[in-house]
Structure 1
Amino acid sequence: MSGRIFNWLIVLALMVFIAPAGVSAEADPLASWTPDFDPSGAEYTYILSNVDHPSIEGIAVGYHIRDKVWERSNGRLFVDFRPLAQLGGERDVLQKLKLGAVQGMLCSSVAAANLAPGFGIVNLPFVVNTFEKLENFRNDPELFEPFSQAAAPQGVTAVDFTGYGSYGWASTSPVRTLEEAREVNFRIAEAPVNTDLYKAWSMKFTVMPWPDVPQALQTGVIDGLDHTPIVCGITRKFNIARYFTQVDYAQGLYIHLMNRRWLDRLPEDLRNILLDTIREESARARNLTKLQQEAQIAAARENGVTFFELSKKDRERLEELAAPVYEKWGKKIGEDYLEKVRTRLGD
């Protein structure tokens, strides 16, 4: 067998392996989300992109927004939601968003800092790291408004966010302490805050696009993931990474970014319907995300995945080591704003 044929067989096997739970490789993964209305007569269309699967509650919100906006607008505004990277990867879509070729995007918080440093505040460790802090951050105008306008110079506004759970470490070997973590090569996202953070923590890491992760994990190129129980469970990473260390140093977010020029040109009544619906459905999705995380952890435990909780001492050590990251990103985000967020949220 030639090397090329062998490589293709591996890729095909991995495609079957990584299909989300409940979705076969042959079936249309979005068939159950087809609208029960004909959108062809809509006066306005809002194209909303995302790279992940709507099995995640923070992504399913796109379809809930679609249906409710259609009903409330009497069919005048169609939210054309495109998950599963139908419009490209996050870096590509961010460029399309700035140009207005795409009007909206549920962008991962780790990628959003590439658009505007201000979004990086939610990636800093132990700042907005719990579900409770996240709600307080969203519902305090003095904290949320600067975040919302972080990408205003690029013509983009953040109107809300949903989530995908609490960040920790999935690994192929047990990681009970910080010292054990330093033996693992973690995949981290293509995100500037995370790169600075792992350097400060003196941990081994590989920056890697998410589509490359299954093969890298399968072949041992990496033996750990910096991610959340929800994503690791739904995308079946727990089939290989059989251990998860609950660090809870950040909340993974899908930030609802919108092209401001397009929004301003939308008739006022439709603009209000869209923004009100996004706010309501995003809040509901955040509540569901907390429940989904609990369910995914329970399911993983039942399937033999072992969970550890990093000790308070090690967590405090991670925060101490991150001091240079707070300093560097404080200058980019705004030192006074960062201090206000940390104080208000009780860091």
Structure 2
Amino acid sequence: MRKTIVAVLLVLLLAAGLFAEGRQEGAEETYKITAGIGLNDKSAQYESLIYFKELVEKESAGRIIVDVYHSSQLGDDREMMEALQRGEQEMTCPSTAPMVPFVPEYGVFDLPFLFPSEAEADKVLDSAVGQQLLDKLSDIGIKGLVFWENGYRNLTNSYQTVRTPTDVKGMRVRTMENPMHLDAWRAMGANPTPMAFGELFSAMQQGVVDGQENPWGTIYLQNFFEVQDYATDTGHVYSPFVLMIAQSFWDRLPADLQGIVMDAAVKSRDHNRDLNRRYNKEYMEKLKDVMEVTVLTPAEKAEFQKAVQPVYAKYADTIGQSLIDDVLAEMKK
């Protein structure tokens, strides 16, 4: 009888030990990242976010799950950033222009014709100057991870071929609600009209605006060629995306998972740039079949550059002249 009792106790102890061990092994908390973007599921931005998702879920062995929402399903860029601040959403990837009200220094990327080439943009964004800008997001409750690419913005219109600032005089051009963009287009002679992106297609269709400016990918994927006849390769603003995560969520992540997320962010950055540049070249060629696409000569582009110089002087204090100087110095290295 006594042996039986001992045997039963041993079995119970062994079972309890296995149960405790099982609980300990399964006790690692899982985390969910809700990630939203503005562009649709055909964009390089979306494909890059899926690439990020796959890397994170694989390397974390399922401890992090990433749910991706495209086409502004969770709101526009500003609304999603505010959701990150409140801890209601974990990740987004806005263009830098809507970020200016949050961090004025990001206005440096709105300076027209700042980056002569993508290589020079990469150099600045991946430098200490770029990291300083990412770090500034911590002041508003957001962790800046890396810079992705939206690309150079180009002009389309339904009015005429554009080769000089004279050609845009009086043209109603939809822009983002960004003071520097508005002033740049005024300096070029246009009549800039700020408007939400979701309203743009119908506004062009109804003649409320004559034109708009966006990267080739957006122009093609949003079917703007259905309501616009002319495109000009102005490349007037290089627009980065910023992959960001809620600081409150980041601080809850264990160090090993933070490392996995950051590693995936860097790899997806390089993937995004390669993909976006290849796609934009393809989109531009496809647009040539459905629109008149004008490529400016260096002399023609110089006329636009000259026209917008007052914008640099006007916003030097707002952005910070030292930051502008640091960006320019980084490109000269």
Q: Shorter-chain-normalised TM-score: which range?
A: 0.7 to 0.9
2:5 corresponding residue in structure 1: none
The Cα of 1:213 is off from its aligned counterpart by: 0.8
Distance in 2 between residues matched to 1:300 and 1:72, nearest whole Å? 39
Distance in 1 between residues matched to 2:91 and 2:116, nearest whole Å? 25
Distance in 2 between residues matched to 1:346 and 1:220, nearest whole Å? 43
Which of 144, 168, 191 in structure 2 is aligned with 1:158? 144
2:50 corresponding residue in structure 1: 63
Tell which deviates more after alignment, 306-315 or 183-192. Answer: 306-315
Contact 2:229–2:292 (CA<8 Å) still a contact in 1?
yes
Distance 1:59 1:236, change over 3 A: same
Deviations 1:125-175 (A, max 9, x none): 1213531122112222x2211221233321223211222321111111221
Contact 2:168–2:189 (CA<8 Å) still a contact in 1?
no
Contact 1:166–1:251 (CA<8 Å) still a contact in 2?
yes
Which of 323, 327, 330 in structure 2 is aligned with 1:337? 323
Distance 1:205 1:158, change over 3 A: same
Aligned residues: 305
2:135 corresponding residue in structure 1: 149
The Cα of 1:299 is off from its aligned counterpart by: 1.0
1:105 corresponding residue in structure 2: 92
**For 1:222-237, what aligned pairs fall within 5 Å after superposition?**
222-237=209-224
Distance in 2 between residues matched to 1:139 and 1:90, nearest whole Å? 23
Distance in 2 between residues matched to 1:177 and 1:319, nearest whole Å? 11
The Cα of 1:314 is off from its aligned counterpart by: 4.2
Contact 1:110–1:193 (CA<8 Å) still a contact in 2?
no
Distance 1:346 1:339, change over 3 A: same
Contact 2:230–2:292 (CA<8 Å) still a contact in 1?
yes
Distance in 2 between residues matched to 1:225 and 1:240, nearest whole Å? 11
Deviations 1:271-326 (A, max 9, x none): 0000110111111111111111110011111x231111234344334333333322
Distance in 2 between residues matched to 1:267 and 1:163, nearest whole Å? 29
Distance in 1 between residues matched to 2:317 and 2:50, nearest whole Å? 38
1:74 equivalent to 2:75? Answer: no
Distance in 2 between residues matched to 1:341 and 1:329, nearest whole Å? 15
Distance in 1 between residues matched to 2:314 and 2:140, nearest whole Å? 22
Distance 1:42 1:174, change over 3 A: farther
1:167 corresponding residue in structure 2: 153
Percentage of identical aligned residues: 19
Q: Give me the CA root mean square deviation.
A: 2.0
The Cα of 1:199 is off from its aligned counterpart by: 2.9
For structure 2, list consecutive stretches of 5 or more residues without a partner in the other structure: 1-27
Matched residue SS, 1:343: helix
**For 1:125-204, what aligned pairs fall within 5 Å after superposition?**
125-140=112-127, 142-172=128-158, 173-204=160-191
1:23 corresponding residue in structure 2: none
Give the 4+ runs in structure 1 shifted more than 6 A: none
Distance 1:257 1:128, change over 3 A: farther
Contact 1:42–1:77 (CA<8 Å) still a contact in 2?
no
2:263 corresponding residue in structure 1: 276
For structure 1, list consecutive stretches of 5 or more residues without a partner in the other structure: 1-40
2:72 corresponding residue in structure 1: 85
Distance 1:152 1:196, change over 3 A: farther
1:307 equivalent to 2:259? Answer: no
